[in-house]
Structure 1
Amino acid sequence: MTGGTGAGAWAPAGAGAGPAGGLLVIGDVVTDIVARHATPLAAATDTAAEISILPGGAGANVACWAAHAGVGGGTDSGKGTGRGQGADPGAGADLRAVDVRLLACVGPDSAEWHEEALVRSGVRPILRVDPEAHTAKVISLVDATAERTLLTDSGAALRLTPDDWSDDLLEGVAHLHLSGYLFFADSSRAHARVAMKAARAHSIPVSVDPASAGFIERLGVDLFLQSIAGADLLTPNLAEAQLLTGLSEPADMALKLSHDFSLVALTLGADGALLAAEGQLLACVPAPPATPVDTTGAGDAFTGTLLAARLSGATPVASARTACQAASRSTTYAGARPYQPSARVPPMD
């Protein structure tokens, strides 16, 4: 594999003065069923829980956080609320508005609800409705430590095909982001490769979030790495990086991956993130302290904010600092997107 366009730590196309360049995210839209339980699960009987139905999906979450960052959500402290209020003058990135678009596949059961939620978050949805599949659903079991276990029904999420792609989707786009979930099914993997090839033909940088260590293991590490070859930015978490490299030390993982990608941002949960480029460590960026309620989507908050910051022209380190703030803040309330009350509960088939 080779790193992507731009030397060093990924120089984003279109960064500079004025509005940030457009961001196209291709990924998954999911109906999240979040069950927070304060006691261990009791087999064969009831366990008390707080249950919420929320819009989610790694790709959709990244898009929402990128849009949120560009309207002032990337540098706030939240004053402990996690709801995007207040300002943090010590944040590392001066963010500008980002035109964020999301291409995804959903079922007819909740397409309208998801489209409304994306629009409220400032994202321009490009939703393909598959009449033969339901929208993806994830049951997120969140324990007393805020750690989550996911039960996933991919539904329509992995049913994008190359026929769903058009180079016109890249008009006004300065960066393409691909959710790793796309690479776990033949049709959506083929779609992702077509999109990546088109982006590179237009000198548009590409990022990939590996998304799921469990799915990578089932697919096969070699096939996954072959499929994402040519991406410029990789944003794995610790479990994904360990699987992709076979190494045990985070710094070694980041360094190894940085030989294949222009910039690697390895997220470490409460410990922040490691940045590496071209075989060199750039920084270890700490995460602000937080009292976690739900860690679902913290990595998506990091990635979306990082992309918005880089598109605004911020350095990798400043971008990661702002992204760590957003990720930390996202754990202080239930749900995987910037906080906002849901307008209505979606229909459930």
Structure 2
Amino acid sequence: MPDAARIVVFGDLIDDIVVVPQHAIRPDTDTAASIRHRAGGSAANAAAWMASLGASVDFVGMVGAGDAAGHAAQLPGVRTHISEHPELPTGTIVVLVDGDSRTMLTDTGANAAMTADLVTDELLDAARAVHFTGYSLFGSPHRAESVASLIERATERGVVVSIDPGSVGFITDFGIDEFLDAIAGATVLFPNLEEGRLLTGLGDPLAIVLSLAQRFEIVALTLDAGGVIVARRGGPVEQVPAAPVEIVDPTGAGDAFAAGFLTAWLASGDLAVAAHLGVQTGALAVRTVGGRPRPAAG
């Protein structure tokens, strides 16, 4: 029997290098900066936040040879299923932080070789939900086919499928219609405003949510300082304000929101409760460098 709260998270696992310049970057010379190495990856970040909120979580990912144990250790409370690629290195992202914005320079590494086929039927049989990001689609055609198959396998079992679109740049390269076709049948979509505008061609947040709700049962559109708008297909729209917070690093805020929302919704079935926990968890994420929960003091 499936665990009423167990979530399978599939996708990117990354070594983040987070760079926060102390002032404007000066070309061709030195710029003083804070540089921190953190474990990251949108899917892995979400899994970490889910576990920190008390959810039962399985994470499926891929790293370079010799790196699985180290990354598993950085996902406390998560049951990990991390494969090692014999040739490709662990993915790396250099994150340049500038106030509440960031620029990411990405080498996907071993993530490019993994597909949704790594999520076994055995894992789905024990799950209530499966969550992944758009990063799991981009690359070879087989990756999109495996995601479509995963959605079909999950749906057959009554397993909720939630998706964070992940990247405006990569969606544009992949193709908007192709992306929407590949994730057809998913239950919950977590776009930010920029992603929502790209996927619908609309500008108004409410119009974006209502448009996407024609395709997905639940849509939660995050608006940064504007909070979140949540709609259920054919149902009422909820708007929850953002929590006031001083932003240290916005990395992982969307991952934390999705984690809080999905964890609360599976437990309560209440979209307003889910949105509030999502907003609160996202606020925690931006208070620290990196995209994961702050380690417990030991």
What TM-score, normalized to structure 2?
A: 0.95
Tell me how far 1:328 sits from its aligned partner.
1.1
- Once the two structures are superposed, residues 176-198 of structure 1 have per-residue CA deviations (whole angstroms, 9 ceiling, x without a partner) of 11211011122432332222111
Cα 1:162–1:67 change in 2 (3 A) is: closer
Question: Structure 2 regions of 5+ residues with no counterpart?
Answer: none
Tell me how far 1:106 sits from its aligned partner.
1.2
Alignment length, in residue pairs? 297
Superposition CA RMSD, Å: 1.9
Cα 1:335–1:127 change in 2 (3 A) is: same
Corresponding residue of 1:53:
37
Task: Give the whole-Å Cα distance in 1 for the aligned partners of 2:84 and 2:293.
Answer: 25
Tell me how far 1:246 sits from its aligned partner.
0.3
| Counterpart selection for 2:65 from 93, 101, 108 | 108
Corresponding residue of 1:205:
160
Task: Give the whole-Å Cα distance in 2 for the aligned partners of 1:306 and 1:162.
Answer: 23
- Once the two structures are superposed, residues 25-67 of structure 1 have per-residue CA deviations (whole angstroms, 9 ceiling, x without a partner) of 1111000000011311111111111001000000001111111
| Counterpart selection for 1:272 from 213, 227, 231 | 227
- Once the two structures are superposed, residues 111-151 of structure 1 have per-residue CA deviations (whole angstroms, 9 ceiling, x without a partner) of 22111101x2x1111111111211111100012x2321111
Corresponding residue of 1:82:
none
Secondary structure of residue in 2 paired with 1:59: helix
Cα 1:259–1:163 change in 2 (3 A) is: closer
- Once the two structures are superposed, residues 182-230 of structure 1 have per-residue CA deviations (whole angstroms, 9 ceiling, x without a partner) of 1112243233222211111111111111000110011110100000000
CA contact (8 A) 2:189 2:218 kept: yes
Task: Give the whole-Å Cα distance in 1 for the aligned partners of 2:102 and 2:66.
Answer: 26
Task: Give the whole-Å Cα distance in 2 for the aligned partners of 1:37 and 1:310.
Answer: 38
Task: Give the whole-Å Cα distance in 2 for the aligned partners of 1:319 and 1:164.
Answer: 29
Task: Give the whole-Å Cα distance in 2 for the aligned partners of 1:34 and 1:304.
Answer: 22
Which residue identity is paired with 1:224?
F
* More moved, 98-107 vs 158-167: 158-167
Task: Give the whole-Å Cα distance in 2 for the aligned partners of 1:286 and 1:180.
Answer: 26
Identity of aligned residues (%): 38
CA contact (8 A) 2:247 2:287 kept: yes
Cα 1:162–1:282 change in 2 (3 A) is: closer
CA contact (8 A) 1:282 1:317 kept: no
Tell me how far 1:321 sits from its aligned partner.
0.5
Corresponding residue of 2:282:
327
Corresponding residue of 2:104:
150
Which aligned pairs between 1:207-286 and structure 2 lie closer than 5 A?
207-286=162-241
CA contact (8 A) 1:32 1:56 kept: yes
Task: Give the whole-Å Cα distance in 1 for the aligned partners of 2:217 and 2:21.
Answer: 41
CA contact (8 A) 2:125 2:157 kept: no
Task: Give the whole-Å Cα distance in 1 for the aligned partners of 2:201 and 2:117.
Answer: 36
Corresponding residue of 2:271:
316
CA contact (8 A) 2:188 2:219 kept: yes
CA contact (8 A) 1:259 1:277 kept: no
Corresponding residue of 2:250:
295
Corresponding residue of 1:85:
none
Question: Structure 1 regions of 5+ residues with no counterpart?
Answer: 1-12, 71-97, 344-349
What TM-score, normalized to structure 1?
A: 0.81
- Once the two structures are superposed, residues 63-115 of structure 1 have per-residue CA deviations (whole angstroms, 9 ceiling, x without a partner) of 11111112xxxxxxxxxxxxxxxxxxxxxxxxxxx210011111115322111
Whether 1:184 aligns to 2:138 is yes
